[in-house]
A = this chain, B = another copy of it.
Amino acid sequence: MLKDPAFIDRLARFMPVFDWGRRYDRDALGRDLVAAVIVTIMLIPQSLAYALLAGLPAETGIYASIAPIILYAIFGTSRALAVGPVAVVSLMTAAAIGNIAEPGSSELLLAAVTLAFLSGVFLMLLGVFRLGFLANFLSHPVIAGFITASGILIAMSQLRHVLGISASGATLPELLQSLFEHLGEINWITLVIGVSATAFLFWVRKGLMPLLLSTGMKPKLAGVLAKAGPVAAVFVTTFVAWVFNLGETAGVRVVGDVPQGLPPLTMPSFSPDLLGQLIGPAVLISIIGFVESVSVAQTLAARKRQRIVPDQELIGLGAANVGAAFTGGYPVTGGFARSVVNFDAGAETPAAGAYTAVGLLLAAMLLTPLIYHLPQATLAATIIVAVLSLVDFSILKKTWVYSRADFAAVSTTIVLTLLFGVEAGVTAGVLLSILIHLYKSSRPHLAVVGRVPGTEHFRNVKRHQVETDETVLTLRVDESLYFANARYLEDSLYDMVAARPQLKHVVLMCPAVNEIDMSALESLEAINERLKALDVTFHLSEVKGPVMDRLRCSDFLRHLSGKVFLSQHQAAQELAAGPS
């Protein structure tokens, strides 16, 4: 069966591996292997750091990068996306499971894998039912505001590791209060390590690249070296901590014992209580993760004129999360930083991800003793530098100038995320965007129009010098007519009619009406009846094809006292010429 090409084509729709896998050659293998080595080196400190951010043992971050990468490589559609722990999802995981169990307990690990499981199942269901469009309800400003606010929360939450104190909290006030309360406990050696690492990483990001380029180094090599900054920081600080045994002599918190070996086989919990507590966060994590992942995947695909399939991406990410759930991980998604590195390093196919997984597996089996002395402050520094690049308040200015409604959505998202945490912030942002959209479409722009003299064009009487006829009222509706604005149209029209005693004809001009739903149809019927009672004839003009098709399914056209004109010009000619 696997030799039947038609069967393979069908299979490839659900498992894209059967598409690219068939054409895999030695050339692609070479490029994929190189990319995998680079990404593996970068991923080790990043995975450890994000696990720390999620409040989980460091090795969880490595585990969450192995099975998910392989599963995504089988089911996902992006050629360059690298799946694993990311900053925002790690923060959301910390918020979701932090209240359920004590740090370091086995209940916490159980909650983490259960969260990944729920999230994976939810993503796969969305994919199977082709509901990927739901992610579109996260508007760009809400995402921008959310990312900025999460960046601040994440950086603040990592400050404790840089200071060597044990503050905690899921919101900005909690974090600030907790940091302030524990300020007396600062470990000065930790602080030195943390601040140096942070400063070094900032310099690598801003200053190293220009420096290398000025020495005549090729941009690509310079880029790889600049990306290796965190690895250098990890290496140096671990070495220093090992030489002086800072963990024991100076109380510097280090990663410590990390189990050496394959990722463990884990089972999610099916306790209704736990599932009930986690289902809400799982849904949010899934959607946020999906949006982040798809944005990254689309950006990278576009550069090579490739396409990704959002509904299949849901299946890929869902499988990755289910994989994380059964191998001791926590929720994962496609990350920006790791994917860009993968792409820049020349990854040709998802197989690069699989080789990365092998690299991480080797690291989990062999290298974990080496990171015993890695200071947590160094990991915190890598997170801080990474997330602060996400913090960008320019969206506030852009939306303020362009659209106050979007400004309201983005500022609400930022403020609520900081004050009440990521879930509250993003939920409020999405609901507010939808409400604002509904509110705007519930009060559509209505323009009384007249003829531009000497032409066949009809324009708003308030914006243009036009000719009107006091026996004819022509009203252009600049919105689809549906339940939320049907009554507004009725009200506005009755007011206009009441103010025009000479009126004989009302023409509703519909060039921008893309739909008339049942409620709006009933409003039009009511308008028709009421105008009939006032001896005013009701007409439509410039109704679109699909809308007209729909109206023909109803009685409306049969009861309409006037006509449906193809163009407003015809309407004006006929109504002016005919008997009033």
Give A contacts to B, CB under 8 Å.
133, 136-142, 302, 305, 307, 310, 398-399, 401-403, 405-406, 433-434, 437-445, 460, 463, 478-480, 482-488, 491, 494-495, 498, 511-512, 514-515, 517-519, 521-523, 530, 534, 544-546, 550, 553-554
Cα distance, A518 to B437, chains bound together (Å): 12
Q: Which of B302, B483, B512 contacts A137 (CB 8 A)?
A: B483
B302, A494: Cβ atoms closer than 8 Å: yes
Cα distance, A444 to B512, chains bound together (Å): 13
B402, A445: Cβ atoms closer than 8 Å: no
A403, B550: Cβ atoms closer than 8 Å: yes
Q: Which of B305, B519, B550, B553 contacts A140 (CB 8 A)?
A: B519
B133, A442: Cβ atoms closer than 8 Å: yes
Cα distance, A405 to B405, chains bound together (Å): 28
Q: Which of B140, B478, B517, B544 contacts A483 (CB 8 A)?
A: B140
A307, B495: Cβ atoms closer than 8 Å: yes
B402, A519: Cβ atoms closer than 8 Å: no
Please tell me how many copies of the chain the complex holds. Answer: 2
Q: Which of B444, B482, B519, B545 contacts A460 (CB 8 A)?
A: B545
Given contacts A139-B517, A512-B514, 15 further A-B contacts (CB under 8 A): A133-B439, A136-B483, A137-B438, A137-B483, A137-B484, A139-B482, A140-B486, A140-B522, A310-B491, A401-B553, A401-B554, A402-B550, A433-B483, A440-B515, A460-B545
Cα distance, A137 to B485, chains bound together (Å): 9
Cα distance, A110 to B9, chains bound together (Å): 68
Cα distance, A460 to B433, chains bound together (Å): 32
Chain B residue with the shortest CB-CB distance to A401: B553
Chain B residue with the shortest CB-CB distance to A522: B140
Nearest-Cβ distance from residue A179 to partner chain B, whole angstroms? 34
B-chain residues with CB within 8 Å of residue A534 when the two chains form the complex: 305
A544, B478: Cβ atoms closer than 8 Å: yes
Chain B residue with the shortest CB-CB distance to A555: B398
B488, A133: Cβ atoms closer than 8 Å: yes
A512, B512: Cβ atoms closer than 8 Å: yes
Cα distance, A133 to B511, chains bound together (Å): 25
Chain B residue with the shortest CB-CB distance to A512: B512
Chain B residue with the shortest CB-CB distance to A497: B305
Q: Which of B139, B302, B512, B522 contacts A519 (CB 8 A)?
A: B139
Q: Is the interface of A mostly helix, strand, loop or mixed?
A: helix
Chosen A-B contacts, 23 in total, with CB atoms closer than 8 Å, are A133-B439, A133-B488, A136-B442, A136-B483, A136-B488, A137-B442, A137-B484, A139-B517, A139-B518, A140-B483, A140-B486, A141-B519, A307-B498, A398-B518, A399-B518, A401-B553, A401-B554, A403-B517, A403-B550, A441-B480, A445-B514, A478-B514, A512-B514
Cα distance, A444 to B546, chains bound together (Å): 12
Beyond A398-B518, A512-B511, A518-B403, whether A136 also contacts B479 by CB under 8 A is: no
Cα distance, A426 to B433, chains bound together (Å): 23
Q: Which of B138, B517, B545 contacts A406 (CB 8 A)?
A: B517
B-chain residues with CB within 8 Å of residue A445 when the two chains form the complex: 514, 546
Chain B residue with the shortest CB-CB distance to A305: B498
B-chain residues with CB within 8 Å of residue A483 when the two chains form the complex: 136-142, 433, 437
B-chain residues with CB within 8 Å of residue A443 when the two chains form the complex: 133
B-chain residues with CB within 8 Å of residue A479 when the two chains form the complex: 480, 514
B-chain residues with CB within 8 Å of residue A441 when the two chains form the complex: 480
Nearest-Cβ distance from residue A526 to partner chain B, whole angstroms? 9
Chain B residue with the shortest CB-CB distance to A308: B491
Chain B residue with the shortest CB-CB distance to A302: B530
Nearest-Cβ distance from residue A477 to partner chain B, whole angstroms? 9
Cα distance, A437 to B434, chains bound together (Å): 11
B-chain residues with CB within 8 Å of residue A133 when the two chains form the complex: 439, 442-443, 484, 488
Nearest-Cβ distance from residue A500 to partner chain B, whole angstroms? 13
Interface centre among A405, A483, A511 (most CB of B within 10 A): A483
Cα distance, A433 to B434, chains bound together (Å): 13
B-chain residues with CB within 8 Å of residue A498 when the two chains form the complex: 305, 307
B-chain residues with CB within 8 Å of residue A403 when the two chains form the complex: 517-518, 550
B494, A307: Cβ atoms closer than 8 Å: yes
Cα distance, A440 to B517, chains bound together (Å): 11
Nearest-Cβ distance from residue A399 to partner chain B, whole angstroms? 5
Cα distance, A402 to B530, chains bound together (Å): 22
Nearest-Cβ distance from residue A145 to partner chain B, whole angstroms? 11
Chain B residue with the shortest CB-CB distance to A554: B402
B-chain residues with CB within 8 Å of residue A514 when the two chains form the complex: 444-445, 478-479, 512
Cα distance, A279 to B399, chains bound together (Å): 36
Cα distance, A302 to B445, chains bound together (Å): 24
Cα distance, A511 to B136, chains bound together (Å): 24
